[in-house]
Amino acid sequence: MESVDAGGEVRHWSGEVNGVSLHVAEQGPAAGPAVLLLHGFPELWLSWRHQMAALAARGFRALAPDLRGYGDSSAPADPAAYTILHLVGDAVALLDHLSLRKVFVVGHDWGAQVAWHLSLLRPDRVRAVVALGVPYFPRAPRPATELFAAFGDGFYITQFQEPGRAEKAFARYEVATVLKKFYSLELDLLAAPPGVEIIDFFEASSSPLPWMTDQELGQYADKFQKSGFTGPLNYYRMLDTNWQLTAPWHGAHITVPAKFIAGEKDVGVESFGTKNYIESGGFKSNVPDLEVAIIEGHHFLQQEQAERVNAEILSFLDRFSEN
């Protein structure tokens, strides 16, 4: 494993953990407080490029893996290998691989789900957690697919359930176009009209994204061209299995210090009653030691509003600088 000097460039290495090989990008001093950065769908370690540089400049050791199924990490063929317990297990095994007892954890989108569940299942390994875009919801009374059935067949999670369906629809487009369609999202609800595939309904911005260069988009596309979308889509296909597996934690709270950051125009905040859950106190009742920052922006916030997100993360981590 390569180490990184303070202020150095991003270094890349792979580790065998929990039965898979995880590719990890690392920046900052090896002896600095470790920050584990967990990306979302459909992204890579690269999503954290701005945060890694900011953390490293402040003396933190930033560790950003490609999650299983993504990029240069292993992509098991069996959908059952993508449960939330596998994902949390990967994070714990990675910390063990690095001999890190306790770390800060930052997650976005699906990475936020992993960060919340790492905090829930193994609070002894988490100094504090920062989640972007997805708040912690307690285990629902019914499986996810039952809850989402009300949105119809056009709902993206419903369409993602059937093995091969989304992959077949995605394949009609260049990989970069598929990614840009997701990165350009500004819809109120991620549901297509009846009989329409969700990727056909989504529109890609005709101009370059203001927060991502064409070269960066090409970096993402190159990796997804190689690894495909099945691994990432399998996360969604395990939602009902996750509901079954997490029964022992029904009603459990997040006890570690936490901060939630979201864009005011994020479809995930605007939909599903999330905004009311945050503002009504329901969120804080489930995460008692909680700070909330709703800022300008959309879903891919750590890239779109990098400086503001960096400031929010660093100000929170400063609370623990003397600990």
Helices (H) and strands (E) in the chain, counts: 16, 8
SS (H, E, C) 200-266: HHCCCCCCCCCCCCHHHHHHHHHHHHHHCCHHHHHHHHCHHHHHHHCHHHCCCCCCCCEEEEEECCC
Catalytic-role residue among 23, 86, 117, 299: 299
Is 109 noted as a catalytic residue in this protein?
A: yes
How is 305-322 classified by DSSP, letter by letter?
A: THHHHHHHHHHHHGGGTT
**Could you give the 3-state DSSP secondary structure of residue 24?**
strand
Spatial strand order of the sheet with 11-17 comes to 11-17, 20-27, 61-65, 34-38, 103-108, 126-132, 258-263, 290-295
Is 183 noted as a catalytic residue in this protein?
A: no
Work out the burial of residue 280: count CB atoms within 10 Å of its CB; fewer than 13 is exposed, 13-18 middle, 19 or more buried.
Answer: exposed
The Cα 97–Cα 212 span in angstroms is 33
Is 5 noted as a catalytic residue in this protein?
A: no
Query: Which residues have C-beta within 8 Å of that of residue 19, sequence separation ≥ 6?
Result: none
Catalytic-role residue among 66, 72, 90, 109: 109
What is the H or E stretch that residue 13 is in?
Answer: strand 11-17
Catalytic-role residue among 236, 266, 277, 298: 236
Contact between 190 and 156 under an 8 Å Cβ cutoff? The reply is yes
The Cα 38–Cα 293 span in angstroms is 19
Size of the chain in residues: 323
Contact between 115 and 129 under an 8 Å Cβ cutoff? The reply is yes
Query: Which residues have C-beta within 8 Å of that of residue 306, sequence separation ≥ 6?
Result: 50, 51, 211
Q: Using alpha carbons only, what angle is made at residue 270 by residues 248 and 48, rounded to the nearest 5 degrees? A: 75
- Give the catalytic positions in this structure: 109, 236, 299
